[in-house]
């Protein structure tokens, strides 16, 4: 396939002048699942010129977007909890009273694999409609060995049912279920570790995540889990410093984590550790917005420290019922003061790093041909629009998805 007359945001600064890597009148050659060539129309090699062309009409073409943090598999919803919070209850109070994550656990345990898949696909379709071509999906609402495996099987089946690439993350250490109340060590030993080993043996896990928080797990609880992940050759990531500073980001960085996510309460020590380890900061403005958080993540310090920032939806029924990556980008700009360029890097090349991928997220020869074609003429438009997604066409692995 040959795309002509594209306004190309390669996100590969080497081929352009800024972070967007903009090429105003560009062509892209796709061969099989890969990008064979990208550059100015005038430089298109003669050998490619005879191919049947798809004229982009100067529309913006970007890498397909990457949502590197979602909890898109779950049953039920938490609209009532939303209402309770608006009447004054805090997220922690709702969680401590047995609501919150645990109410989603009850609903998810009761649902079959087929039922969970049927619930997840429309959510994934909304993410695809906002430009996503790769999404990460976590477990973490099962909290038994069987139910964590069930969630991860559903996540894998999403990737077989839709053209998106799905990266799966084991998150059994998301909450302590009622039957283990006050016994977090026993939960790690009896559920988190065995479910990780079983899921890994079934080929269901691409990474291991956990929730480090006063209402969830301590670093002491998580040390054996991260050690096991690394023994299995799996990368780790961590929900860190979302509600309080637990030193989670520095702990994750010491374990070579791909990312530390949320980070509203991140300390200067955490930033330094992440910078040294190359750990990506995944910022999740949907959760900040939904919980009406007032503590901002330290964006300027992350920027100054050279920590790459990714932006994701955190799509989940409690703290972030947000199914649009472009709206997440808008929130990252308006609430956190990212530039639109940083927001787009955050859903393309930096998001790939948060998933440990090297074959996508930019437009360059050899990379996977996941592209988004937009009814837009400047990449800042993707962050600027509120609630409308100007997606025109998407290309998954070199195939046009009409
Ligand atoms: N932090 C979050 O924002 C999600 N998980 C987590 O550890 C929320 C999950 C939920 O409330 O259902
Ligand atoms: Fe999350």
State the ligand closest to the CA atom of 248.
Answer: 1
The torsion angle over the Cα atoms of residues 221, 224, 226 and 228, rounded to 10 degrees, is -150
Go through the chain and tell me how many residues it has. Answer: 402
| pLDDT in 10s for each residue of the chain, 402 residues | 999 999 999 998 665 556 899 999 999 999 999 999 999 999 999 999 999 999 999 999 999 999 999 999 999 999 989 998 899 999 888 888 778 899 999 999 999 999 999 999 999 999 999 999 999 999 999 999 999 999 999 999 999 999 999 999 999 999 999 999 999 999 999 999 999 999 999 999 999 999 999 999 999 999 999 999 999 999 999 999 999 999 999 999 999 999 999 999 999 999 999 999 999 999 999 999 999 999 999 999 999 999 999 999 999 999 999 999 999 999 999 999 999 999 999 999 999 999 999 999 999 999 999 999 999 999 999 999 998 899 999 999 999 986
State which fold the 65-354 domain adopts. Answer: TIM Barrel (3.20.20)
The ranges of the chain annotated as CATH 3.20.20.140 are: 65-354
Spacing, Cα 101 to ligand 1 middle (Å): 7
Is-above-0.75 flag for pTM?
yes
Spacing, Cα 101 to ligand 2 middle (Å): 11
Spacing, Cα 88 to ligand 1 middle (Å): 19
Spacing, Cα 106 to ligand 1 middle (Å): 15
Task: Show Cβ contacts of residue 291 under 8 Å, excluding neighbours closer than 6 positions.
Answer: 85, 91, 319
The ranges of the chain annotated as CATH 2.30.40.10 are: 2-63+362-400
Q: Whose CA is nearest to atom 8 of ligand 1?
A: 319
Is 344:9 a contact under the CB 8 Å cutoff?
yes
CATH superfamily of the 2-63+362-400 domain: Urease, subunit C, domain 1 (2.30.40.10)
**Ramachandran sector of residue 398 (left: φ over 0; alpha: ψ -120 to 50; beta: rest):** left
Is residue 318 lining ligand 1, measured as CB closer than 6 Å?
yes
The pick from 217, 290, 297, 318 for probing ligand 1's pocket by mutation, whose C-beta has the most ligand atoms within 8 angstroms, reads: 318
Is residue 101 lining ligand 1, measured as CB closer than 6 Å?
yes
Is residue 108 lining ligand 1, measured as CB closer than 6 Å?
no
């Amino acid at each position: 396939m040959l795309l002509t007359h594209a306004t190309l945001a390669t996100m590969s600064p080497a081929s352009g002048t800024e972070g967007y890597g903009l090429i105003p009148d560009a062509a892209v050659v796709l061969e099989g699942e890969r990008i064979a060539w990208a550059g100015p129309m005038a430089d298109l090699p003669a050998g490619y010129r005879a191919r049947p062309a798809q004229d982009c009409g100067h529309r913006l073409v970007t890498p397909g977007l990457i949502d590197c943090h979602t909890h898109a598999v779950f049953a039920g919803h938490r609209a009532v909890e939303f209402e309770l919070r608006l009447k004054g209850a805090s997220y922690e109070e709702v969680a401590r009273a047995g609501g919150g994550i645990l109410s989603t656990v009850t609903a998810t345990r009761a649902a079959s694999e087929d039922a969970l898949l049927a619930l997840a696909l429309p959510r994934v379709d909304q993410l695809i409609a906002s430009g996503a071509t790769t999404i990460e999906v976590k477990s973490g609402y099962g909290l038994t060995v069987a139910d964590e495996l069930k969630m991860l099987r559903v996540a894998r089946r999403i990737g077989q049912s839709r053209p998106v690439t799905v990266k799966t993350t084991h998150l059994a250490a998301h909450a302590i279920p009622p039957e283990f109340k006050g016994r977090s060590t026993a939960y790690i030993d009896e559920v988190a570790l065995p479910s990780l080993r079983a899921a890994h043996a079934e080929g269901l896990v691409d990474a291991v995540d956990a929730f480090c928080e006063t209402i969830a797990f301590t670093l002491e609880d998580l040390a054996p889990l991260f050690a096991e992940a690394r023994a299995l050759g799996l990368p780790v990531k961590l929900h860190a410093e979302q509600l309080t500073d637990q030193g989670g980001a520095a702990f994750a960085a010491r374990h070579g984590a791909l990312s530390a996510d949320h980070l509203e309460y991140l300390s200067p020590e955490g930033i330094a550790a992440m910078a040294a380890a190359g750990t990506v900061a995944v910022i999740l403005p949907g959760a900040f917005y939904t919980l009406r958080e007032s503590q901002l993540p330290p964006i300027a310090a992350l920027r100054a420290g050279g920590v790459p920032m990714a932006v994701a939806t955190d799509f989940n029924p409690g703290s972030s019922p947000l199914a649009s990556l472009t709206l997440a980008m808008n929130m990252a700009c308006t609430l956190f003061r990212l530039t639109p360029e940083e927001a787009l890097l955050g859903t393309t090349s930096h998001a790939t790093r948060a998933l440990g991928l090297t074959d996508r997220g930019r437009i360059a020869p050899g990379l996977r041909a996941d592209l988004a074609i937009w009814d837009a003429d400047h990449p800042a438009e993707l962050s600027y629009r509120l609630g409308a997604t100007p997606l025109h066409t998407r290309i998954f692995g070199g195939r046009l998805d009409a």
